[in-house]
Amino acid sequence: MLIFRWLASLLLLGSALCFVFYLGTGQARYKRWGLLVLKWTVVAALAFFAVLIFGRIV
Is 90 exceeded by the pLDDT of residue 5? no
Is 90 exceeded by the pLDDT of residue 8? no
CA distances for 8 relative to 2, 12, 23, 25, angstroms: 10, 6, 23, 26
Q: What is the pLDDT of residues 9-47, one digit of tens each?
A: 999 999 999 999 999 999 999 999 999 999 999 998 998
**Three-class DSSP category at 50:** helix
Could you tell me what percent of the chain has a pLDDT over 90?
A: 74
